[in-house]
Structure 1
């Protein structure tokens, strides 16, 4: 098992000593204001200045998740947490909004909101770790919803699309 698979399956804490079960108990306030959890719940293949301790997705991670329904389901549990915060939900592979989307209840629809960057990371992570169909459905849903509002830039929508198609980067070491 890898660092990412051990963390998401609850077998070991992250580099700050936090267990995944702790994250599931966090409030939406905490999810909005902490900036070092998203990289752990949704690892990708590129580093970030916000959490230099976050693990990077490797070829070994991609292979493990591709071959393990259990690991993919652990990742989807993290997705369900963040979707709830964003005012969204998942039914199987489908992404939807239980209430009519608006910036008051869907924070990512606010102009230049950092949750738009988080969405890019989530889409990329899902794609890299074997949940491609859900990643595609999430990207499609948020792009279609964003078009109804004038608060999400074309550049951000491009990032959401490219998170699905960019080839994986093999991290050093």
Structure 2
């Protein structure tokens, strides 16, 4: 059974914003589709949209209206019945990756398993990378948010593919500061209940433990099948 829709008004707005059947608006009256249709120049200069495109269970220092994902919303959005949410979040991710100079693809193998790949767009070095491939930039904070949001809301494969592309860019151009790479790595590798800045979300920890148990059981099942 699918978890109930959140009752918190701010979380209801977030869910409606991401629901393709509702197409709700953010506090500024903008729909997700309107934001994704912006030109790159507007995505670069405007700073109050990334928080709703990629929400977190922590508050934002830069946007007082930033939605803070609570436990009910976490359960609702991650539930398998809400596949529409993940499809919509993948749209948002693809747009932001294009802004940064990357393409993303999803390929399904014969066994039905999906593989996600993020690669540099043709001409990205001239057209996209100059806006953020540098020692420090406000986009580095956005990228940290995107990575963590993807993990928290159940798009782990997409987060790992993006992180791999960031690592490739970091190694190839030697322009991005070590501090930014450190935070991106922390966004990917820290326990899910710990944010890159060390903030802890207590209620997340129990779900993390549950996921680890389920992964262990899946591994054991695979090993039994192989032996059989």
TM-score by length of 1: 0.89
Q: Which of 68, 92, 97 pairs up with 1:83?
A: 97
C-alpha distance in 2 between matches for 1:114 and 1:27: 18
Q: Does residue 144 in structure 1 map to residue 156 in structure 2?
A: no
CA-based RMSD: 1.9
C-alpha distance in 2 between matches for 1:85 and 1:94: 16
Q: Which of 18, 22, 30 pairs up with 1:8?
A: 18
SS of the equivalent of 1:94 reads strand
Whether contact under 8 Å (2:151, 2:192) holds in the other structure is no
Query: In the alignment, what sits opposite 2:134?
Result: 110
C-alpha distance in 1 between matches for 2:181 and 2:124: 17
Further displaced range: 11-20 or 58-67: 58-67
SS of the equivalent of 1:148 reads helix
Q: CA deviation at 1:32?
A: 0.2
Q: CA deviation at 1:103?
A: 6.3
Q: Which of 121, 125, 128 pairs up with 1:98?
A: 121
C-alpha distance in 2 between matches for 1:51 and 1:105: 25
Whether contact under 8 Å (2:134, 2:177) holds in the other structure is no
Against the structure 1 CA distance between its residues 94 and 61, is the aligned structure 2 distance closer, same or farther, given a 3 Å change threshold? farther
C-alpha distance in 2 between matches for 1:56 and 1:48: 8
C-alpha distance in 2 between matches for 1:141 and 1:59: 31
Q: CA deviation at 1:22?
A: 1.1
Q: CA deviation at 1:100?
A: 5.8
Q: Which protein is richer in helix relative to its size?
A: 2
The one of the two structures with greater contact order (alpha-carbon pairs below 8 A, sep at least 6) is 1
Q: CA deviation at 1:26?
A: 0.5
Query: In the alignment, what sits opposite 1:163?
Result: 187
- Of structures 1 and 2, the larger Rg is shown by 2
TM-score by length of 2: 0.69
